[in-house]
């Protein structure tokens, strides 16, 4: 249905992601985010396509998807992000490990 060589551009202006959360420390020392509210606003968005008719249909599908995402995050975003943000935070913080570079020893023949 879509031509393979068509140029498709999706633009977002004034994208806003608002989250109200608290970080708690577990017994193992990991941070667990507790999300109280989350809101997403895609602002002004538009989809450009080379073919005008395909562009209109795709724009309506994308707009419908944006409305679904915004409403879903408003109602169940706290539950979703509370359960999903923990693994993302752990990965982002390198599983709570800090790599230290190897430094040269001031004493010859000794490991640092």
* Tens digit of each residue's pLDDT (9 = 90 or more) over 54-82: 888 888 888 899 899 989 988 888 888 88
Instruction: Kindly state the helix (H) or strand (E) to which residue 44 belongs, with its residue range.
Output: strand 44-49
CA angle, residues 20, 76, 58, in degrees to nearest 5: 105
Q: What pLDDT does 68 receive?
A: 92
Q: Which residue has the higher pLDDT, 15 or 3?
A: 15
Assessment of whether the complete model's pTM goes beyond 0.75: no
Could you give the percent of the chain with pLDDT greater than 90?
6
User: What percent of the residues of the chain are helix, what percent strand, and what percent coil, each to the nearest 5?
Assistant: 40, 30, 30
Give the number of other CB atoms < 10 A from CB of residue 38.
21
Give the number of other CB atoms < 10 A from CB of residue 19.
16
């Amino acid at each position: 249905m879509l031509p393979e060589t068509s140029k498709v551009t999706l633009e977002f202006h004034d994208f806003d992601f608002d989250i109200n959360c608290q970080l708690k420390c577990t017994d193992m020392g990991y941070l667990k985010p507790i999300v109280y509210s989350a809101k997403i606003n895609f602002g002004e968005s538009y989809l450009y396509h080379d073919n005008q008719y395909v562009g209109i249909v795709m724009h309506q599908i994308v707009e419908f998807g944006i409305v679904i995402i915004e409403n879903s995050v408003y109602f169940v975003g706290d539950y979703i992000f509370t359960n999903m943000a923990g693994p993302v935070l752990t990965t982002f913080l390198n599983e709570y490990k800090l790599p230290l570079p190897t430094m040269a020893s001031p004493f010859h023949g000794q490991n640092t």
